[in-house]
């Protein structure tokens, strides 16, 4: 039952508005993401509104682990900066919880624990023996070995911390549930990411356009090829009914939890079906995040954008895919740096995010097509329950609007402002990006907390898992790699200045 | 619906044969997808743009 509960918040966030809340999680992500983006832009006027946000540096002495992002706030010190960041996010997200009609007090208490454990994982990940990469780094920290994970290895530590709690201290995981909102956290991060990517690509618009055009291949692959094959496998090889096979195919093929829920609604499946499929999606996404970035680093470090696209195509759920892109980027950049090649950061992660967002935006249309087929040909219903065009908008992932807005505004400012002001933009976006990193950390920890492997096996849903296993590892991952290679091989990020 | 009911349902599902509309959906999706991917791959090959 805990798995069922674990994905109920995702149900509310990803599907059409199912509650009487003032905002859905999607719209809330847009509001918070845009607000942080706007606050960061204030820096262009010379007012450092977000300079106090905490960042972690690679460390050997805990005293030097934390600090504010802006030197203007150096007087705050690392710990005060951390506490200020926590209080700020507590206030913002508690207000958000109120708009979702959640129990604000329960949220605030649970969020406090989630934030502190998640950020502690991030700080541990920044320990020099985990994070130092180049020989110069080793010398600087006076150490002789390092796992070379970069400080973004902290994402994996947050994920593992969440998994340990979910699987060995389930009562604590249950208690933390009000603040376990991976979809909300990653959507806020993606909205912020739009502005950061805009500044990154402004100097290489041709390359950015090229990545966008190649992203269309991902849509075709996910909806037309993956879906059809997985649906066939589920129906013919495993004997699932249509009610189970369609959400399962969408969950495995498209964008995980949101797709499973949208499809369940489109074919009028019982809510419990989408909930169980969503549980599976989250669990397998965790397995993928733990494996694929390292495979990408081992075999695709010379084709960085192939690796980025592969993460967007192969890992399901927005959070895990974009986060997987982040880990892949850090591993490959470190790998390349150790060989003397310094790629500009942001392109690998940007490719993963672009591919994922491209796939996401068509979920409404796909849900409408399935709904039309089901209500007119399979379970023929009365006119009142037939597919409606409004369903396309209802299922549209609204956070994409925030992503497009921050990207468009960031690009416009980069290209149109006087050079003196434009030069300040990367630093301003860097401050917003510090929040993006924090929301990624919260996403990883929350994904771990949502993944109770034991409950899944105890509940005996191995047949569902078998379809997922066969489809994902026998087909989805490898076809994703092939398509990524076909369209992104030879396309390389610019070198860092 | 309790989990145990769902588990029993999953284990004892009656096989539903593929309807003609499902076959059309599967084959139509696959054929359209492969044709579009080949077309895109050709475009990508002919107009490699910036690499």
Shortest Cα distance, chain B CAs vs residue A65, angstroms: 39
The minimal CB distance from B40 to the residues A216, A241, A378 is found for A216
How large is the ipTM? 0.90
Q: With a cut of 70, say whether residue A186 has pLDDT above it.
A: yes
Asked whether the beta carbons of residue B48 and residue A272 sit closer than 8 angstroms, the reply is no
pLDDT for res B35: 92
pLDDT for res B49: 59
Burial class (CB in 10 A: 0-12, 13-18, 19+), B39: exposed
Query: Ramachandran region of residue A101, left (φ > 0), alpha (ψ -120 to 50) or beta?
Result: left
Query: Does residue B35 belong to the interface with chain A, where contact is any CB pair within 8 Å?
Result: no
Query: Does residue A243 belong to the interface with chain B, where contact is any CB pair within 8 Å?
Result: no
Asked whether the beta carbons of residue A463 and residue B15 sit closer than 8 angstroms, the reply is no
Asked whether the beta carbons of residue B7 and residue A377 sit closer than 8 angstroms, the reply is no
Query: Does residue A235 belong to the interface with chain B, where contact is any CB pair within 8 Å?
Result: yes
Asked whether the beta carbons of residue B7 and residue A459 sit closer than 8 angstroms, the reply is yes
Q: With a cut of 80, say whether residue A192 has pLDDT above it.
A: yes
Q: With a cut of 60, say whether residue B30 has pLDDT above it.
A: yes
In the DSSP assignment, the letter for residue A204 is G
Q: Are A445 and A162 in contact (CB under 8 A)?
A: yes
Asked whether the beta carbons of residue A242 and residue B16 sit closer than 8 angstroms, the reply is yes
Confidence of residue A118 (pLDDT cuts 50, 70, 90): very high
Show which of residues 102-161 on chain A sit within 8 Å of chain B, judged by CB atoms: none
Q: Are A82 and A119 in contact (CB under 8 A)?
A: yes
Query: Which chain A residues touch B33 with a CB distance below 8 Å?
Result: 220-221, 223-225, 228
pLDDT for res A18: 42
pLDDT digits (tens, 9 = 90+) for A39-89: 999 998 888 899 999 999 999 998 889 999 999 999 999 999 999 999 999
pLDDT for res A476: 87
Is residue A55 helix, strand or coil? strand
Query: Does residue B15 belong to the interface with chain A, where contact is any CB pair within 8 Å?
Result: yes
Query: Which chain B residues touch A221 with a CB distance below 8 Å?
Result: 33, 37
Q: With a cut of 90, say whether residue A232 has pLDDT above it.
A: yes
Q: With a cut of 90, say whether residue A34 has pLDDT above it.
A: yes
Query: Which chain A residues touch B10 with a CB distance below 8 Å?
Result: 244, 461, 463-464
Asked whether the beta carbons of residue A221 and residue B37 sit closer than 8 angstroms, the reply is yes
pLDDT for res B3: 58
A210, A245, A374: which to substitute to probe chain B, counting the most B Cβ within 10 Å? A210
Of residues A96 and A198, which shows the higher confidence score?
Answer: A96
Burial class (CB in 10 A: 0-12, 13-18, 19+), B14: exposed
pLDDT digits (tens, 9 = 90+) for A464-487: 888 888 988 888 889 889 988 988
A90 vs A87: CA distance, rounded Å: 5
Show which of residues 314-373 on chain A sit within 8 Å of chain B, judged by CB atoms: 373
Of residues A33 and B8, which shows the higher confidence score?
Answer: A33
**What are the tokens at A323?**
């986060």
Shortest Cα distance, chain A CAs vs residue B24, angstroms: 10
What is the average per-residue pLDDT within B43-48? 75
What rounded mean pLDDT belongs to chain A? 86
- Which range, of A296-300, A414-418, B12-16, averages the lowest pLDDT? B12-16
Stated pTM of the model: 0.78
Query: Does residue B38 belong to the interface with chain A, where contact is any CB pair within 8 Å?
Result: no
Q: With a cut of 90, say whether residue A19 has pLDDT above it.
A: no
């Amino acid at each position: 039952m805990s798995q069922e509960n674990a994905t109920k918040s995702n149900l509310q966030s990803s599907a059409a508005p199912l509650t009487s809340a003032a905002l859905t999680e999607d719209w809330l992500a847009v509001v918070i993401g845009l607000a942080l983006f706007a606050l960061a832009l204030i820096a262009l006027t010379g007012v450092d509104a977000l300079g106090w946000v905490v960042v972690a540096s690679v460390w050997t002495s805990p005293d030097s682990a934390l600090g504010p992002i802006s030197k203007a706030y150096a007087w705050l010190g690392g710990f005060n900066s951390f506490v200020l960041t926590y209080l700020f996010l507590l206030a913002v997200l508690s207000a958000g919880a109120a708009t979702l009609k959640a129990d604000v007090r329960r949220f605030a208490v649970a969020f406090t624990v989630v934030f502190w454990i998640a950020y502690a994982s991030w700080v541990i990940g920044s320990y020099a023996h985990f994070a130092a990469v180049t020989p110069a780094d080793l010398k600087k920290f006076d150490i002789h070995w390092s796992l070379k994970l970069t400080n973004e290895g902290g994402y994996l530590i947050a994920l593992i911390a969440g998994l340990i709690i979910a699987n060995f201290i389930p009562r604590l995981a249950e208690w933390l549930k009000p603040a376990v909102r991976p979809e909300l956290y990653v959507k806020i991060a993606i909205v912020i990411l739009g502005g950061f990517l805009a500044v990154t690509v402004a100097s290489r618009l041709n390359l950015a356009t090229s990545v966008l055009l190649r992203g269309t291949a991902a849509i075709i692959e996910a909806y037309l090829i993956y879906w059809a094959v997985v649906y066939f496998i589920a129906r013919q090889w495993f004997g699932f009914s249509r009610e189970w096979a369609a959400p399962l195919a969408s969950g495995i093929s498209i964008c995980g939890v949101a797709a499973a829920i949208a499809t369940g609604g489109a074919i009028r499946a019982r809510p419990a079906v989408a909930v169980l499929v969503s549980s599976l999606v989250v669990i397998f996404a965790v397995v993928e995040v733990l494996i694929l970035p390292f495979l990408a680093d081992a075999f695709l470090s010379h084709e960085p954008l192939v690796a980025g696209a592969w993460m967007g195509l192969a890992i399901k759920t927005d959070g895990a895919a974009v986060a997987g892109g982040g880990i892949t980027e850090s591993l490959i950049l470190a790998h390349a740096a150790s060989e003397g090649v310094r790629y500009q950061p942001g392109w690998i992660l940007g490719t993963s995010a672009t591919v994922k967002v491209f796939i996401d935006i068509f979920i409404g249309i796909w849900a409408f097509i399935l709904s039309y087929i089901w209500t007119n040909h399979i379970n023929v219903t009365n006119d009142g329950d037939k597919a409606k065009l409004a369903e396309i908008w209802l299922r549209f992932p609204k956070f994409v609007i925030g992503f497009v807005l921050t990207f468009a505004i960031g690009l416009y400012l980069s290209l149109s402002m006087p050079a003196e002001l434009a030069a300040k933009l990367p630093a301003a976006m860097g401050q917003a990006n510090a929040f993006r990193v924090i929301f990624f950390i919260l996403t990883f920890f929350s994904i771990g907390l949502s993944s109770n492997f034991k409950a899944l096996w105890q509940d005996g849903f191995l047949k569902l898992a078998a379809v997922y296993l066969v489809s994902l590892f026998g087909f989805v991952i490898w076809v994703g790699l092939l398509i990524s290679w076909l369209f992104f091989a030879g396309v390389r990020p610019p070198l860092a200045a | 619906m309790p989990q145990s009911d769902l588990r029993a349902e999953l284990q004892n599902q009656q096989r539903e044969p593929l309807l003609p509309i499902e076959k059309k959906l599967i084959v139509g999706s696959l054929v359209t997808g492969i044709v579009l991917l080949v077309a895109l791959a050709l475009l990508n090959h002919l107009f490699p743009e910036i690499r």
